Chains A and B, each alone.
Chain A
Amino acid sequence: MKNESVYKRNIFGSFKSSAWLLAFSLLLLASGCVKVEYSKIEDPAYLRVFNNLNYIQTLGSKDNKVPFFCMFINPVVDASGMPVSAEIVGDFLDQRDAYAPPYPSHIGSSISVNNPEYPGKENVLVGPILNGFDLSSWAQVPSGKVRIMFAYRPKNTVPFFQLENELKKDILIDTTINLTSKEVYTLHLLQKDFVSKRTGILLRQEIFQKLPLSDSLTYVNFYNMSSKGYWEADRSLKADNFLLASFQGGMKDDMNVFLSLYENQSNLLQKGPAIAGYNGKYLANVKLNTSTGVVNPYVSFPIWASQATNGITTNMWQRFDFFTPGMDITNNPFYQGSTENGGNWVSVNCMQNGNARVQFNDNAAMLPNLLVNIHSGIHNPATFATVNSIEVVNGRIYLTTIQRKYAPPVY
């Protein structure tokens, strides 16, 4: 009898302590829990933003305001007009890079906060794959009528809303744009007049994802979004950067574009042999336009134009010559390396990764190759056709490349 009661008490006692233990472990478990809410934008439009207001740090421009911005979509402003929060914030928006790549990969691996485009490095919801085109460089934003604002900010690493109040009141642009659900847009921040320094935005509704484009042709269209009066202006007023070569002085408002394809981008000594049929071939006309968001027609060239190719990869590169109407490759009066041509002739070489120059007798600015060479499937590299926009802004030239989703590499 006595033994039984001891036994009972033990059972009861150990049950009680195990209950405590259990409760305690549950508490520990519960304290480790977080609730995750995934953000979602209803009826999004897809937007990519470029800051085309460029600058270069020189002695003469040391006092100029640096065009370094914070972008707001649907901002909340206080009584003094200062933004206090916003639905979408694109901070540290720096001048754009010469190359806007098809995937935000190389931007994502950077260690600086300065963003060459929006979304770029921002960790936000991005676009889906539309008609085979990967829109991961386009951010989802609310559709409909949205208010968009660009505020000057100091060039440092302090997030906009943590800046001192007086640094947050310098607004460059405050306007509304109309975005349709599920459409693809690029938004450009531009200087529209070189003399009055008037700035503005240009919203372009892209159509590449709706076109029946072949995957053995590379497509490109051209824009001239320079400010009015840039090419006429005196050289002393323009950024001094020898790497811009013939583009440094700008180009005239109406230009014809000629395409040349060359066989071998590994040879940097000279241009080398051109591909038959593609030596100064007329391609398109481009006119100055900073007011309407019309998409200029895409023109194309075959990616297997070279006889030397095996149909998997090609080493060819492209050169675009911009001539004022009446001039072309055959009656070009300037010598090959001439960089100061009064805006009558400018040229750009698209080769390698955009840092390569032809060493002798050349006046071209540098851009990356339009064709993407990358490891895909068992082929390393395989060459892919792309859809491109080449944009001239004042003394600079920019390339935006869009690529279809491709097969992952097999190692």
Chain B
Amino acid sequence: MNTADQYVEAIYLEQQIENGPVSTGVLADRLDISPASANDMIGKLETRGLIDHEKYTGVTLTDKGIARAREALETYCIIERFLTNILAVESFQTEADELEPVIDELVAERLDTIIDRHPDCPDCFDPETDACCYLDIATELSDTNEQRAD
């Protein structure tokens, strides 16, 4: 997956959490990069028509950006599901993050033939728990987060 796809995916998830535009700082935190790097890519994404950028407000995905982000998120879901269902990896989120930049959409599509992904995907993805809600382990994560909130 290329860097632009990772950015639009991150904006898509943060938009859901923030319920509105995403600031450069929030995006930089999520991607663990400097605000300057985030700003640089924001300019490129805007030129490609993937986002709208309002100064002092933040960025919002265009329809084209949303479509691209959802495709990227599907690829991420496939990797997470593959790690949990086939390889039984406990730290599947950390490892999915590491693998995501190296796994191409084409490769993910092949892996998808054996993981029985839910038809709702990528709406199955919960940005708070950072996992597909249909993964058995995701229920445990959600419970843990709720206990922390209490």
Q: Is B a genuine binding partner of A?
A: no
Spell out A's residues near B (CB within 8 Å).
none
